Amino acid sequence: MPRPRWSTVWITGASRGIGEALALELARRGCTVAISARSVEDLERLAQTVRSGPLPGRLQPYPLDVTDSDACEAAFRRIEAELGPIDLCILNAGSHQPVELDDFSPLPFESLLRLNVLGVVNGVAAVLPVWRRRRCGQLAIVASVAGYRGLPTATAYGASKAALINFAEALRLDLEGSGIVLNLINPGFVRTPLTDRNPFPMPFLLEPDDAARRILRGLERGGFEIAFPRRFVIWLKLLRLLPYRLYFPLVRRITRP
């Protein structure tokens, strides 16, 4: 087997869904992966699966709530002390909550912005000081194609992911010359416990292991944005160019139940 591109990787939101698939794919490639999420049992179960299986890599649980900035910093320090310097960090923890007009309240905005945006900011703040001194490291932020433009019932989720996209673009510029590589990951629909809750048909739905391979291929290539599946992304990027007078009726027609 060829030498893996990364030796030690940290993934947040790694107990299920896309994060779990990424951790398993990296273990398949022989990497040591620090896996974080809130649920200790889920992380232990996943680590045990790899321990007792044929994969050459290793998963090590570091339970963590990413909305706690001190806990993120402490986890980063512990991982580096126990596993060695992290060379890839994938900030993936996130959630979705549709907002219906009848239930409109600030609560889903507070929780999704805290998790999806501040959770990522806390991860960046944890790695940045050490990586800047070291002048290396690859940082990947998982946003979503849902951040490209406004979509029905996605006022909270879409706003959080649009904020992340803008955050990543700005950070990419600020990091120039620092030696740190920044990637923005914008997946389309992936079958996970998160999307299993969606009551509507999801176009171009991918399996998590397929998504994980696409993400890792993109991270190896090193371009800024990793967005997939390609045909869905092209459609969405074309929609991004439409003026509002065309965008709103078209999206209404496509998404009407």
Ligand X SMILES: NC(=O)c1ccc[n+]([C@@H]2O[C@H](COP(=O)([O-])OP(=O)(O)OC[C@H]3O[C@@H](n4cnc5c(N)ncnc54)[C@H](OP(=O)(O)O)[C@@H]3O)[C@@H](O)[C@H]2O)c1
Summarize as ranges the residues that interact with ligand X (CB under 6 A). Answer: 12-19, 37-39, 42, 64-67, 92-96, 115, 142, 144, 187, 189-190, 192-195
Q: What amino acid occupies position 197?
A: R
Q: Give me the catalytic one of 62, 157, 244, 247.
A: 157
Distance, CA of 44 to CA of 49 (rounded, Å)? 9
Note if 157 is an active site residue. yes
Closest separation between CB of residue 235 and ligand X, Å? 15
Distance, CA of 78 to CA of 75 (rounded, Å)? 5
**Of 58, 107, 108, 67, the residue nearest 91 (C-alpha):** 67
Q: Which is nearer to ligand X, 61 or 243 (CB)?
A: 61
Query: Helix or strand or coil: residue 36?
Result: strand
Q: Which is nearer to ligand X, 60 or 178 (CB)?
A: 60
Closest separation between CB of residue 60 and ligand X, Å? 15
Closest separation between CB of residue 189 and ligand X, Å? 4
Q: Which is nearer to ligand X, 135 or 224 (CB)?
A: 224
Distance, CA of 240 to CA of 10 (rounded, Å)? 33
Residues 6+ apart with CB under 8 A from 94: 13, 115, 116, 119, 142, 160
Q: Please list the active-site residues.
A: 157
